[in-house]
Amino acid sequence: MRKTPKMKAVQLKQEFKDLKDKLIKVEEKAYERRPFLYLDIISWLESKIEQKTVQEIVHEKFLKRKHRGQIERQEA
């Protein structure tokens, strides 16, 4: 990430994807989750990758979770 000021947009996007993948692995560890509760860096990275606002990304995640919860209740 130190090279980011000199990177082209395509390279920067790939760096964001790589960082997101690394952070997802860290987030899966029980003792490493706390910082992710305070700062949703993964959603921020997704917003940069997908060229959307953070608000749009968070809203989409909310709708997916809500929809998943409705499906689980119907199956029960």
pLDDT tens over the chain, length 76 residues? 566 677 788 899 999 999 999 999 999 998 898 998 899 999 999 999 999 999 999 999 999 988 887 777 777 6
Give buried/exposed letters for 25-50 (b at 16+ CB in 10 A, else e): eeeeeeeeeeeeeeeeebbebbbbbe
**pTM of this prediction exceeds 0.85:** no
Token match 């960082």: residue?
A: 19
